[in-house]
Amino acid sequence: MPERVVITGGAGFIGSHLCARFLNVGYEVVCIDNLSTGSKDNIASFLDRPDFFFIKHDVTEYIYVDGPVDLVLHFASPASPADYLDLPIQTLKVGSLGTHKAMGLAKAKSARFLLASTSEIYGNPLQHPQSEEYFGNVNPVGLRGVYDESKRFAEAMVMAYHRNHGVSTRIARIFNTYGPNMRLDDGRVLPNFFSQALQKKALTIYGDGSQTRSFCFISDIVEGIFRLCRTEYHDPVNLGNPEEISIKDLAEMIVNLTGTGAEIAINHPLPDGDPQVRKPDISRAMDVLGWKPVVGREDGLKITLDYFKKKVSEIH
Ligand code: UDP
């Protein structure tokens, strides 16, 4: 019998890559998504496979899955700032009620569980880089609070199910990730910059562009998640690429890479609570998983450029 994995948010950016990865190693994959921010395009190539099942469902409601389940990966959530500002209540619900339902499924099926958590746990961090011991600097009533607090609640829920019900759980704190299957209009910095540069529009830098992020290519994140699933490590693990870059330097890199000579326009309004710095300390992932990112920024961005070129050509 092949192992069966349930992936909530399986039609989303990271979720769809996880579907591919688990199918490739012989799992049956049950993908659950309400398609609020995910897309069927991301899973179109799997839909006819006998080892792939798609259930259109909102995981804040009771989750019914027929048959055995060995692993539950809870990835359902709006995850880009623009999306969770558009869907604040849905974001709070999927982190709280959705995590509860996904945990309930794992408990009922005696399945292992992994939560997609986030670097937003650390808020606008006062510790740099961020290690898992850092408790964060989050404003619960700021605009980002809906995502940050729902994920913080989700982590608490997961640890409670682990401690009180003995469910075998894992928590991946995922930092900025990029690559194919991102939505062109998801509002995040890389889709925006690629979309703008390829259409010769000015790149919109929010604030002065001195804020930093550390971007990890999708295949590295998927590998980290895959390895974490195979451990019995229950405390949170940061997954991300520690190569840090300012948003202004990133904009210049995208302009050069696309070769379109697009302009860069600084000082668009900086969103409320936008973290000034972000960079993962990945010592724990290196120790526990023997993992570190292997795809450099330039290589990852080139692959992503090809993907966005295609997406931009589809809108014209
Ligand atoms: N950003 C920007 N221009 C854009 C989109 C984003 O300057 O068109 C900035 C944003 O203010 C933040 C960084 O890029 O400082 C990363 O933003 P993103 O929305 O990708 O995600 P975040 O890391 O803030 O969750």
Assign a CATH topology to domain 4-178+216-239: Rossmann fold (3.40.50)
Would you state the CATH architecture of domain 189-213+243-276+296-314? Alpha-Beta Complex (3.90)
Pocket mutation for ligand 1, best pick of 213, 216, 252 (most atoms within 8 Å of C-beta): 213
Atom of ligand 1 nearest to the CA of 211: 15
Interval 303-307 mean pLDDT: 98
Residue of the CA atom closest to atom 5 of ligand 1: 189
Residue 252 CA to ligand 1 center (angstroms) comes to 15
Interval 80-91 mean pLDDT: 96
| This prediction's pTM | 0.97
Residue of the CA atom closest to atom 1 of ligand 1: 189
Inter-helix orientation angle 297-314/189-198, to 10°: 60
Pocket mutation for ligand 1, best pick of 216, 247, 278 (most atoms within 8 Å of C-beta): 247
The percent of residues in the chain predicted with pLDDT above 90, rounded, is: 98
Domain ranges of the chain: 4-178+216-239, 189-213+243-276+296-314
Is 205's C-beta closer than 6 angstroms to any atom of ligand 1? yes
Residue type, 181: N
pLDDT reported for residue 119: 98
pLDDT reported for residue 162: 98
Is 121's C-beta closer than 6 angstroms to any atom of ligand 1? no
Is 218's C-beta closer than 6 angstroms to any atom of ligand 1? no
pLDDT in tens, 256-294: 999 999 999 998 999 989 999 999 999 999 999 999 999
Angle at 70 between CA 45 and CA 74, to 5 degrees: 65
pLDDT reported for residue 264: 96
Residue 238 above 90 pLDDT? Answer: yes
Residue 179 above 90 pLDDT? Answer: yes
pLDDT reported for residue 315: 87
Instruction: Read off the pLDDT band of 11 (50, 70, 90).
Output: very high
pLDDT in tens, 118-146: 999 999 999 999 999 999 999 999 999 99
Residue of the CA atom closest to atom 11 of ligand 1: 206
Inter-residue contact 54 to 47 (CB < 8 Å): yes
Is 242's C-beta closer than 6 angstroms to any atom of ligand 1? no
Residue 161 above 90 pLDDT? Answer: yes
Interval 151-176 mean pLDDT: 98
Catalytic residue numbers? 147
pLDDT reported for residue 236: 98
Q: SS3 sequence, the chain?
A: CCCEEEEECCCCHHHHHHHHHHHHCCCEEEEEECCCCCCHHHHHHHCCCCCEEEEECCCCCCCCCCCCCCEEEECCCCCCHHHHHHCHHHHHHHHHHHHHHHHHHHHHCCCEEEEEEEHHHHECCCCCCECCCCCCECCCCCCCHHHHHHHHHHHHHHHHHHHHHCCCEEEEEECCEECCCCCCCCCCHHHHHHHHHHCCCCEEEECCCCCEEECEEHHHHHHHHHHHHCCCCCCEEEECCCCEEEHHHHHHHHHHHHCCCCCEEEEECCCCCCCCCCCECCHHHHHHHCCCCCCCHHHHHHHHHHHHHHHHHHCC
Neighbours of 255 (CB within 10 A): 18
C-alpha to C-alpha distance for 48 and 137, rounded to whole angstroms = 45
Residue 1 above 90 pLDDT? Answer: no
Residue 191 above 90 pLDDT? Answer: yes
Is 213's C-beta closer than 6 angstroms to any atom of ligand 1? yes
Same fold across 4-178+216-239 and 189-213+243-276+296-314: no
Is 206's C-beta closer than 6 angstroms to any atom of ligand 1? yes
pLDDT reported for residue 293: 98
Tell me the pLDDT of the chain averaged across its residues.
97
Structure tokens at 235: 């405390």
pLDDT in tens, 195-228: 999 999 999 999 999 999 999 999 999 999 999 9
